[in-house]
Amino acid sequence: MVKPLFIATRRFDPSDGEKWQKYIEWSKISGLSEVVSLDGMLCPHLVKEFLDEDWRHIVCEDFRLDYFYDLDYLVRRIDGIPRRNLLGLYRNLENHIDEAPAPGAFEFVGYDLIEEQTQISALSNCGGFPDVFRNDELNQFALIGSFNRAHEIRATLAERHPEEPHVQCELYAIWRLNETN
């Protein structure tokens, strides 16, 4: 079984006002209720400075320093931070996994394609690739809902746009913990 990872990100939705409106106009992605992404520009990662204790709980490889193995530790680490998304992830799956990454009120929200060095989403923050996917294929969170389609998009992006650094990406299944903050 693939080991789940966890990350906390800032929410990005219509309550962000002008920033949200500018994003919608630029991206030309309609029907969004929120962007739920690992993209660090759109949804900044909440753990910015590392404590000594963090190093025992984080992934220390491939530019994934803000990804945690220990959900309980991450929850304590971000305690009191408002407007957050606590995400459970599976990276580079061979098939869709129906089981949430941890107990609790996790809901599957879709797949993201992330270029890990820059933490940029090829789906929601590259200006689109109309020869590979249509913006209307993205769900209300700017993600792809189908594993097979996300896998196909990942392969086709790398094939058709080898010169574009943001398409050399990893596939992440994203589950969001439903919280009341």
State pLDDT tens for residues 51-77.
Answer: 666 666 666 666 556 788 889 899 988
The pTM for the full model equals 0.90
Structural domains in the chain (count): 1
* pLDDT tens-digit readout, 9-57: 999 999 999 999 999 999 999 899 999 999 999 999 998 776 666 666 6
Give the integer Cα–Cα distance in Å for 78 and 114: 23
Give the integer Cα–Cα distance in Å for 8 and 47: 7
* pLDDT tens-digit readout, 145-167: 999 999 999 999 999 998 888 88
Are the CB atoms for 127 and 133 separated by under 8 Å? no
90: containing domain: 5-177
Nearest to 41 by CA among 149, 137, 124, 120: 120
Nearest to 147 by CA among 67, 92, 76: 92
Site of tokens 């800032």 = 10
Looking at the DSSP assignment, which residues form a beta bridge with residue 112?
A: 172
At 111, the amino acid letter reads Y
* Residue 4 token pair: 């789940």
